[in-house]
């Protein structure tokens, strides 16, 4: 190492992901080892991602982290596991331009500063911890010149937040539960990249909720301890579904993909309900969105949309193609018109879907006809205000390093938040 | 038989019942044979019952039935099964006073008139078909001098509506699924009469709902066809629960009774959610009532209240004793005050519970303090209008014949509705 004045930084961007075969239940709480495999779709980081800058300097006095501009504690076991595992794999780093040389051994004596930022509202219940821990591990890995590949890094991110391991890849990702007691084979692999099936369009309905939700960590612990259905799901049902889902993705078979996604989301919520005390993540609005999609799918020759819900009331809707997505957004806006006139903040992400659907202003929403499949259900009720906003997006790429220093969240002079 | 002018009548009253270990799924659709045993509590007919008058006369031209004053068709298979099975067991009847003699053989040539009336709103989703078919079979059995006992009659009522078989007894009743293909051993037996555990108080919250519900007949068919969890529940889980529930009832062990009732209700709704398309019977109000009860139970040394939900959003709450019931009604009224000032129609059934709770007028509801167990959850929200009304009742007796002719629903002269 040279003098005390230098700061070395890496900035990376990591996507979030949505499980289509669900992870629910750990067989090991500390190592975060799941009771079954899971499969996810990575979401386009243009609309939902975490950006993290990690930096190292001999001037730092301790490991520190800022999340969305606010300093948070790194003392939790999950942060400590990730930091320890990454440091253990650190290698020599040389930056000739800056005259910096860090040897493998130096890393144990150096502290890091970490700043992380989500480009979506953290309160939205959109699994920010998945993207967050993936980005932490990925960026630290780059900073410390860790040689491990993405799958091996995923086994570290997994120890921060289980579903984080699936955010190390773009496209379609499987988290293999593994067999080893030390968790070394519980890691993510890419099933197909985001270009493999690029017709899919994803619409997220962020649902307004007055309920305080059970955290997924305590929720899945309670399910493991009390549900008599969970083990049957994990051992007998999910293994077959994983094979079917892999085949559906391989063949871009939307009918199977949609069916498997829907039934697995529902079964995850079923085991939550079978927990004591019962856990309810979906609310009446979630139920209504399911009914809208189920009714529409049934009225068509083939399913148009899949739905899946994580540990909260938000609906993640996957449309078979752009045409289905425009019809979907029309139906959703018909039932769930915005509470205010600000359409710009009611439909975010890829706004071109709404444009294609002919929605340019509030008056276009008011003019929407009732979906034809509910013709006989008169009068069709509307639920203004029950959805906070919609995010339009698509399957996306995995983590990337951002080389443009203007995107760094830490100051390159002192390693503190900009 | 004598001349054509006579009318012979029987009037009976039959209770409804609420399952505490649930019946969901048939192994035979026509005979209505279930996939598992179930256990129920019979509700006091003073508050919830069906009254049925059946009559026979050589002057009748066809079998006819009136429900709540309106003529309905008897052509359905379920009515036909009950009528056929009862007629097949008819015996000689003599009424010396009226000079009537009907032989066993005559019954196949005689038509019946039936009038039935529920003392509770039919739209309330309170399983009126259970009390209805039980009363039909019970009263016809009396009219036709059928020698079969209540258990054997229950196997006939079962063919009208599965849960009807459990309404042939008071107190605590088990419907044994049976093994025979012809259903002869799929019948109800009494576990204990209503005096065995007479401390229990039952409060039913009739929940307002905007959703059209899936009928239980088609709902359970879809669950049998599509849920991968149902068979595991029916074969592996329920048999053990049945034994535990029998023991809890035998020992009047409220902690076990409450726990089993709650988890079995939740598991029934879990398999509904595991159905494709998913079935939602509970809504946000149902979920809120569960949360109120779970939080309260957890704050006490022992559970105070059990909850169970059938194929709809209504909560059936079973309090361990009168003291617990008064506290329960206070908590419920705090969260769910009435929409109007008409308290008299907001709390029906046994009104003495509300009186004991100090609730004599709207002002008493407005003055209720927040339940102490939610002290830190500020501000505690109220949900005015989300409950339509409450029914206070208790475990009750089985079917009885009403000998007072003024209670008959048919005119003794012409066998037509009064």
Cβ–Cβ < 8 Å for B204, B316? yes
Chain A residues touching B229 at Cβ < 8 A: 229, 232-233, 237, 267, 270
Q: Please name the member of A229, A274, A294 whose beta carbon is closest to the beta carbon of B277.
A: A294
Q: Scanning the structure block, which residue is given the tokens 């239980």?
A: B216
Q: What is the pLDDT of residues A43-76, one digit of tens each?
A: 999 999 999 999 999 999 999 999 999 999 999 9
Q: Tell me the residues of B at the A interface, defined by beta carbons under 8 Å apart.
A: 210-212, 226, 228-229, 232-233, 236-237, 259, 262-263, 266-267, 269-271, 273-278, 280, 283-284, 287, 290, 294, 298, 377, 381
* Whole-number percent of chain B with pLDDT over 70: 96
Q: What is the pLDDT of residues B282-324, one digit of tens each?
A: 999 999 999 999 999 999 999 999 999 999 999 999 999 999 9
Q: Hey, where are the domains in chain B?
A: 8-193+403-407, 201-393
Distance of CA A274 to CAs A106, A228, B63, Å?
A: 51, 7, 46
Q: Tell me the nearest-neighbour CA distance from B155 into chain A, angstroms.
A: 31
Nearest Cα neighbor of A73 from A82, A83, A64 is: A64
- Residues A26 and A411: their CA atoms lie apart, in Å, by 39
Largest Cα separation within chain A, whole Å, is: 77
Rounded mean pLDDT of chain B?
A: 94
Reported as a pLDDT band with limits 50, 70 and 90, residue B361 is very high
Q: Spell out the residues 6+ positions from residue B15 whose beta carbon is closer than 8 angstroms to its own.
A: B42, B43, B44, B45, B48, B49, B131, B134, B167, B170, B396, B397, B398, B399
Cβ–Cβ < 8 Å for B116, B65? yes
Which residue stretches of chain A have pLDDT < 70?
1-4, 122-125, 127, 210-212, 375-379
- Would the CB atoms of B267 and A228 count as touching at under 8 Å? yes
Domain A8-193 has CATH 3.30.230.10: yes
Cβ–Cβ < 8 Å for A291, A336? no
Q: Tell me the nearest-neighbour CA distance from B212 into chain A, angstroms.
A: 10
Q: Is B93 helix (H, G, I), strand (E, B) or coil?
A: strand
Strand locations in B177-288, DSSP E?
A: 187-192, 201-207
Cβ–Cβ < 8 Å for A116, A65? yes
Sheet holding B17-21: strands in order across? B17-21, B38-42, B172-176, B187-192
- Would the CB atoms of A273 and B270 count as touching at under 8 Å? yes
Cβ–Cβ < 8 Å for B102, B1? yes
Distance of CA A45 to CAs A150, A188, A200, A287, A306, Å?
A: 17, 18, 15, 28, 21
Q: Which fold has domain B201-393?
A: Alpha-Beta Plaits (3.30.70)
Tokens representing B306? Answer: 């059990």
Q: Please name the member of B228, B259, B277 whose beta carbon is closest to the beta carbon of A237.
A: B228
- Would the CB atoms of B262 and A274 count as touching at under 8 Å? no
Burial B268-306 (b: 16+ CB within 10 A, else e): bbbbbbbbbbbbbbbbbbbbbbbbbbbebbeeeeebbbb
- Residues B153 and B138: their CA atoms lie apart, in Å, by 7
Q: What is the pLDDT of residues A214-224, one digit of tens each?
A: 889 999 999 99
Q: Is the pLDDT of residue B66 over 60?
A: yes
Q: Scanning the structure block, which residue is given the tokens 């990376």?
A: A12
Chain B residues touching A309 at Cβ < 8 A: none
Q: What is the mean pLDDT of residues B373-389?
A: 80
- Residues A314 and B384: their CA atoms lie apart, in Å, by 26
Dihedral of the CA atoms A231, A233, A235, A241 (nearest 10)? -160
- Residues A142 and B43: their CA atoms lie apart, in Å, by 68
- Would the CB atoms of B280 and A271 count as touching at under 8 Å? no
Reported as a pLDDT band with limits 50, 70 and 90, residue B12 is very high
Tokens representing A370? Answer: 């009732």
Q: Is the pLDDT of residue B166 over 70?
A: yes
Distance between first and last Cα of chain A: 25
Q: Scanning the structure block, which residue is given the tokens 């094979």?
A: A243
Cβ–Cβ < 8 Å for A195, A121? no
Strand locations in B268-409, DSSP E?
A: 305-308, 315-319, 347-349, 387-393, 400-401
Cβ–Cβ < 8 Å for B389, B347? yes
Residue B269 is predicted with a pLDDT of 98
Q: Scanning the structure block, which residue is given the tokens 């293999």?
A: A176
Q: Is the pLDDT of residue B209 over 80?
A: no
Tokens representing A305? Answer: 């949309």
Nearest Cα neighbor of B115 from B75, B84, B169, B74 is: B74
- Residues A135 and B314: their CA atoms lie apart, in Å, by 46
- Higher-pLDDT residue of B214 and A165 is A165
- Residues B320 and B328: their CA atoms lie apart, in Å, by 10
Angle at B330 between CA B196 and CA A272, to 5 degrees: 75
Q: Please name the member of B266, B274, B280 whose beta carbon is closest to the beta carbon of A287.
A: B280
DSSP letter, residue B198: T
Dihedral of the CA atoms B219, B224, B228, B231 (nearest 10)? 120
Residue B19 is predicted with a pLDDT of 97
Chain B residues touching A266 at Cβ < 8 A: 273-276, 278
Residue B374 is predicted with a pLDDT of 76
Chain B residues touching A228 at Cβ < 8 A: 233, 236-237, 267
Residue A237 is predicted with a pLDDT of 98
Label residue B256 exposed, middle or buried (CB < 10 Å: 0-12, 13-18, 19+). Answer: middle
- Would the CB atoms of B381 and A262 count as touching at under 8 Å? no
The answer, yes or no, to whether the previous bond of A277 is cis (omega within 30 of 0) is yes
Residue B346 is predicted with a pLDDT of 96
Residue A127 is predicted with a pLDDT of 67
Cβ–Cβ < 8 Å for B243, B37? no
Residue B211 is predicted with a pLDDT of 67
Tokens representing B49? Answer: 């019952």
Q: How many CB atoms lie within 10 A of CB A243?
A: 11
Q: Spell out the residues 6+ positions from residue B237 whose beta carbon is closer than 8 angstroms to its own.
A: A228, A229, B267
Label residue A331 exposed, middle or buried (CB < 10 Å: 0-12, 13-18, 19+). Answer: buried
- Residues A36 and A25: their CA atoms lie apart, in Å, by 8
- Residues A270 and A278: their CA atoms lie apart, in Å, by 10
Distance of CA A305 to CAs A269, A298, A320, B21, Å?
A: 19, 11, 6, 36
Stated as kind and residue range, the H or E segment containing A13 is: strand A8-15
Q: Is the pLDDT of residue B210 over 90?
A: no
Q: Please name the member of A211, A229, A259 whose beta carbon is closest to the beta carbon of B229.
A: A229
Angle at B158 between CA B156 and CA B159, to 5 degrees: 70
> Helices marked H in A122-215 — which ranges?
128-143, 150-157
Residue B97 is predicted with a pLDDT of 87
Chain A residues touching B376 at Cβ < 8 A: none
Give the torsion sign (CA, B341, B344, B348, B351). Answer: positive
Chain B residues touching A226 at Cβ < 8 A: 263
| Number of helices (H), then strands (E), in chain B | 11, 19
| Nearest residue in chain B measured CA to CA from A226 | B263
Residue A124 is predicted with a pLDDT of 60
Domain B8-193+403-407 has CATH 3.30.230.10: yes
Helix B150-157 × helix B77-88 angle, to 10°: 150
Tokens representing B84? Answer: 């056929």
Distance of CA A345 to CAs A361, A392, B31, Å?
A: 12, 12, 57
Angle at A320 between CA A318 and CA A321, to 5 degrees: 110
Q: Is A196 helix (H, G, I), strand (E, B) or coil?
A: coil
Sheet holding A38-42: strands in order across? A17-21, A38-42, A172-176, A187-192
The answer, yes or no, to whether the previous bond of B379 is cis (omega within 30 of 0) is yes
């Amino acid at each position: 190492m040279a003098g005390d004045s230098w700061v070395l930084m890496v900035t990376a961007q990591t996507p979030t992901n949505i499980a289509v075969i669900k992870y629910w239940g750990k067989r090991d709480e500390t190592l975060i080892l799941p009771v079954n495999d899971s499969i996810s779709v990575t979401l386009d980081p243009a609309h939902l991602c975490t950006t993290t800058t990690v930096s190292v300097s001999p001037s730092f006095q301790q490991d520190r982290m800022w999340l969305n501009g606010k300093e948070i504690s790194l003392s939790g076991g999950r942060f400590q596991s990730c930091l320890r595992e990454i440091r253990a794999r650190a290698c020599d780093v040389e930056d000739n331009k800056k005259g910096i040389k860090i040897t493998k051994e130096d890393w144990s004596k150096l502290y890091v500063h970490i700043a992380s930022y989500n480009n979506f509202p953290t309160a939205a219940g959109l699994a920010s911890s998945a993207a967050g821990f993936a980005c932490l591990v990925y960026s630290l890995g780059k900073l410390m010149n860790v040689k491990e590949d993405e799958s091996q890094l995923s086994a570290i991110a997994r120890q921060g937040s289980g579903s984080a391991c699936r955010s190390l890849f773009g496209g379609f990702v499987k988290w293999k539960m593994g067999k080893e007691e030390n968790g070394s084979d519980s890691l993510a692999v890419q099933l197909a990249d985001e270009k493999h099936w690029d017709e899919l369009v994803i619409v997220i309905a962020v649902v307004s909720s007055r309920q305080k939700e059970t955290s997924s960590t305590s929720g899945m612990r309670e399910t493991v301890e009390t549900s008599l259905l969970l083990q049957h799901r994990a051992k007998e049902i999910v293994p077959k579904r994983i094979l079917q889902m892999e085949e559906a993705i391989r063949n871009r078979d939307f009918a199977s993909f949609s069916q498997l996604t829907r039934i697995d989301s529902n079964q995850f919520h079923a085991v939550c309900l079978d927990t004591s005390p019962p856990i309810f993540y979906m609310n009446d609005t979630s139920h209504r969105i399911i009914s809208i999609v189920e009714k529409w799918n049934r009225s068509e020759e083939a399913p148009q949309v899949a739905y899946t819900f994580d540990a909260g009331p938000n609906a993640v809707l996957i449309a078979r193609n752009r045409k289905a997505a425009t019809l979907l957004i029309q139906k959703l806006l018909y039932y769930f018109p915005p509470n205010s006139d600000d359409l710009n903040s009611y439909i975010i992400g890829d706004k071109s879907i709404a444009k294609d659907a002919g929605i340019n202003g509030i008056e276009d929403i008011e003019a929407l006809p009732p979906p034809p499949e509910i013709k006989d259900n008169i009068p069709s009720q509307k639920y203004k205000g029950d959805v906070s906003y919609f995010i339009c997006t698509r399957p996306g790429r995995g983590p990337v390093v951002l080389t443009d220093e203007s995107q760094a969240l830490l100051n390159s002079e002192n390693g503190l938040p900009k």
